[in-house]
Each structure stands twice: as C-alpha cells, then as structure tokens.
Amino acid sequence: MTRIVDDQPHPDDEIIRARQRERARIMGWLLGAFIVLLFLITLAKIGTGR
C-alpha cells in the first residue's frame, strides 16, 4: 500500500497556528489573573478570620 505524504505547506496551517498563539496568550493572562485573584481572596479571608 502506498502512503502519500504531503510536504506542501497547507493554507490552514498559519490560521491554526495564529489561533493557537492567540488562545495561548489569552489563557496565560487569565491564569495569571486567577492566581492574583486567589491571592487576594486568601488575604481577605485571613482578614475576616474565616
């Protein structure tokens, strides 16, 4: 059985990579914000003695 390997760059590849980059950047910001939020919640909880 012959397997055909397509080495040509696909027009979708750049779109896929761009979307992945954009989503990764947004996810990074969201996770950073979440960590800051958890830190502030912890401070508030300690402050109210709960």
Partner 1 sequence: MQMTNPAALPADWRDLLALTKPRVMSLVVFTGLCGLLAAPVMPPPVIGFTAILCIALGAGAAGALNQWYESDLDSMMRRTANRPLPAGRIDRQTALHFGVGLAAFSVILMELAVNWLAALLLAGSILFYVFVYTVWLKRRTAQNIVIGGAAGAFPPLIGWVSATGTIDFLPLLLFAIIFLWTPPHFWSLSLFVRSDYAAAKVPMLPLVAGVAATRRQILLYSLVMVAAAIAPWPLGLTGWIYGASAAALGAGFVAMAFAVARNGATDPSKMGPERRLFAFSILYLFSLFAAVVADRWLVQ
Binding residues (CB under 8 A) for partner 1: these are 10-12, 15-16, 19-20, 22-23, 26, 37, 40-41, 43-44, 47-48
In angstroms, the CA 26 to CA 37 distance is 16
Cα–Cα–Cα angle for 40, 42, 44, nearest 5°? 70
Among residues 2 and 48, whose Cβ is nearest to partner 1?
Answer: 48
Among residues 1 and 11, whose Cβ is nearest to partner 1?
Answer: 11
CB of 4 to partner 1, least distance (A): 15
